[in-house]
Structure 1
């Protein structure tokens, strides 16, 4: 997240979409986010099957960009 913080112009907000996994809610992460009011966290519902499709879509984009072959599941 430090790399994103450095790369995004200061006048823009950052919207972070994450699953509800417990590691995103640790005191360290919460403290980091509390110091950065331009960061807006959006947690997905625990039963988000649609998120798997989004992850698959971005994996396909990554494969195309890197030139790697992709295999449909």
Structure 2
């Protein structure tokens, strides 16, 4: 991980592992599942057609998907 410090804020650059770890933490905190479990369910279509309001934490974890899929 590389950190660049400026006068107004701090920027943290994450490698792939750090990004995956952050996604896992978000999935566990918001939905109580691991990041890999969420990705498996997402990819299998478990959340298709589901309202964001019907599954607590779904919107937060879905918004964090770029941390899990950086390609």
Quick check: which one's helix share is greater?
A: 2
Please indicate, yes or no, whether the TM-score normalized by the shorter chain is above 0.5: no
Q: TM-score, normalised by structure 1?
A: 0.31
TM-score (norm 2): 0.32
